[in-house]
Each structure stands twice: as C-alpha cells, then as structure tokens.
Amino acid sequence: MTTITATPRPMRSRFLLDRSEVVGPLFIAPAILYVLVLVGLPFLLALYYSVSAYSIFNPSFAFVGLKNFRDVIDSEIFRRTLVNTLVFTISAQIIGLLLGKIGAMLLMQEFRGRGVARALVVLPWAVPVSLATIAWLWMFDSLYSVINWTLIAVGLVDAANRPQWLGQEDLAMIAVVVVHAWRLFPFGVVIFLAGFTSVPKDVLDAATVDGAGFWRRNYQLILPIIAPIVLIALIFGTVFTFTDLSVVYLLTKGGPINSTQVLGTYAFQVGILSGDVAHGAAICLFLFPFLLVAVILLLRSLRRREI
C-alpha cells in the first residue's frame, strides 16, 4: 500500500488510507497504547498494591484499606526519609540553579576555548549517572580520598581525624547533595544559556543606553523574558532530584543509619530488597502529590506560552 501503482485498486481501501482522519489516529495509536499499557496500567497497579497485603512471599491481593499508609507514616524511618528528601531536593536544586546561572553568564561571553569549556561543563549531565557517581565514590573513599588528601595537604583537616564523607551522618548528606548538584548544574547552564540567547540584543542595548545597571538589566529585563524557560528547567530539575534513587543508592545506600535515606531508596529497600511490595508502593505514592503539582505547573507554563 505504500507504492504508487498504475493499476486501479478497490476504491474503498484507497479511499480510507487517503483520509487523514483515519490515518491520523492509526498512526498515533501505537504510541498511546504503549504508554497506556506500560505507564498507565503499572501506575494503577501501584495504587492497588498500596492498599493490599501484597508481598513477593505472599502475593495476595487482599484489600487492607489505608493500613499500609498508616504503617508508613507511623514509622520513624519514613518521617526521617521525608525530611531528608526535602533537604536533599531543595539544597541540590538551589546549588544547581545558582551554579547553572553563573555558568551560563560566564559561557555567554566570547572567549577563546569557549567551545571546549562548554563541552567540559556539560559532562556531568551527559555521562551515565551510575558511572559518574562511581567516580565520586572513589573520590570520597574512606582512606584514599583525593579530597581528603587535598584538605590535609593545605592543612584544613588533621590526618588522624580525616572526614569520612560517606560514613558520618551530616557529611554523608552533604556528599550526596554535592554530587547531585554537580550532576544537575550543567542542565541549568544549558537552559539558562538558551534563555539568555533568546533575549533580543537591541533591547539590552537600549536599556544600557537608558542607564540600566547590571542588576537592573538582570532582574527587570532578562529574568522576566527567560522566566518560562527557567520554570521548565526548575520543574524538570526538581522532579529528577525528588525522585532520584541512583546517586544516593550508589553512594550511601541511604546510610549511615538512614541519614541519607530518600523516598526512592527507601521504597527500593522495602519494596524490592525486603520484598514488601505493598508498603514499598505506599512509600512511592508519597511522590505522587508532588508530581501532580509539577505537572500542573508545567501545563500552565506551556499554555501561557501558546497565548
């Protein structure tokens, strides 16, 4: 049916495939089906698990109501996890955005080697997360940490009392935040760069001539123009951070003593490692209200742009 043929065909099928209102839905159907079956259905399944007694040892779908959620909220570890997740998300996000903005302002200038600098700055985000995190694991090594070596060499810490980056509660949190911010900030850089270059140069020049200084140009001119883009970056960045599992899992597995446990790692531990699917699903679903807000914000910003 994809060939141009000279022989007359049955009118009907020809007619059908010529009509875009038939072909259109036919073309989009596989994509929708795939997403419905492997994203929509599993989500419903997660909802159901969370109100059942399902575990891999006892795969029963017995309905238990909101018991799982109550259990989860009652658990001290979970409350700690929730706080950790917020701390982790907010601090990684702030550092990432700040560095992203600074990076974009630097890389916007014309200078020799800018292309190379940009390529290097993008690396943390481009490289597969697990491999990049492994490099940090080595840099945070309890004995051979290059960071500690440097700190000792410049006399900031004592060799006998070297910091255990992944073994002390407060330091472990700092470590996972730094690594995640490191992974995230190149994303901020490229988004801000895209935003900055979309600001018309003549508008800026006019403002400069009219006497607008650096801060004024920045906050009254540039920021409003790039706000929609920054918002999208913020939404994606926050979602990626809030739901992160890889960085924390590889660096600390949530330890020491759950001090870096976040929703993702905790759900993995309960739902997969301990096989308690029902409680794991309940933990995961605490992500949902947050995701819903993100989706609504994103929809709004997309709509506003269309108008």
Partner 1 sequence: MLRLAKKLAAEGSFYAAVATLVLFAAFPFYWMLITTFKADGDLYDLKSVPYWFNAAPTLEHIRYLFAETLFVQWLMNSALVGLCVVAITLIVALPGGYSLARMPARSAETLGIGIFLTYLVPPTLLFLPLSRVVSRLGLQDSLWSLVVIYPTFTIPFCTWLLMGFFKSVPREIEEAAIVDGCTVMGAFVKTVLPLCLPAILTVVIFTFTLTMQEFVYALTFISSSEEKPVTLGVATDLIRGDIFYWGELMGAALIASVPVAIAYNLFLDRFISGITGGAVK
Judged by CB under 8 A, the stretch of 39-47, 65-73, 202-210, 211-219 that binds partner 1 is 39-47
Q: How buried is 139 (Cβ within 10 angstroms: 0-12 exposed, 13-18 middle, 19+ buried)?
A: middle
Q: What are phi and psi of 45, to 5 degrees?
A: -60, -40
Tell whether residue 280 is a contact of partner 1 (CB under 8 A).
yes
Candidates 184, 233, 234, 248: give the one binding partner 1 (CB under 8 A).
Answer: 233
Question: How many residues bind partner 1, per CB under 8 A?
Answer: 106
Residues 42-71 that bind partner 1 (CB under 8 A): 42-43, 45-46, 49
- Distance (Å, whole) CA 274 – CA 55: 9
Amino acid at 32: I
Judged by CB under 8 A, the stretch of 64-72, 165-173, 208-216, 266-274 that binds partner 1 is 266-274
Shortest distance, CB of residue 20 to partner 1, whole angstroms?
A: 6
Tell whether residue 198 is a contact of partner 1 (CB under 8 A).
yes
- Distance (Å, whole) CA 158 – CA 146: 14
Candidates 10, 11, 19, 76: give the one binding partner 1 (CB under 8 A).
Answer: 19
Tell whether residue 144 is a contact of partner 1 (CB under 8 A).
yes
Shortest distance, CB of residue 179 to partner 1, whole angstroms?
A: 9
Tell whether residue 38 is a contact of partner 1 (CB under 8 A).
yes
The dihedral formed by the CA atoms of 270, 273, 274 and 277, expressed in degrees to the nearest 10: 60
Tell whether residue 264 is a contact of partner 1 (CB under 8 A).
yes
- Distance (Å, whole) CA 290 – CA 135: 31
How far separated are the first and last CA of the chain, in Å rounded? 41
Tell whether residue 287 is a contact of partner 1 (CB under 8 A).
yes
Count Cα atoms within 13 angstroms, Cβ side, for 33: 6
Judged by CB under 8 A, the stretch of 16-24, 69-77, 163-171, 215-223 that binds partner 1 is 16-24
Nearer to partner 1, 46 or 212 (CB): 46
Tell whether residue 294 is a contact of partner 1 (CB under 8 A).
yes
Dihedral angle sign, alpha carbons of residues 203, 205, 210, 215? positive
Report the SS3 class of residue 63. Answer: strand
Residues 117-136 that bind partner 1 (CB under 8 A): 117, 119-136
Tell whether residue 166 is a contact of partner 1 (CB under 8 A).
no
Q: How buried is 92 (Cβ within 10 angstroms: 0-12 exposed, 13-18 middle, 19+ buried)?
A: buried
Tell whether residue 11 is a contact of partner 1 (CB under 8 A).
no
CB 146 within 8 A of CB 139: yes
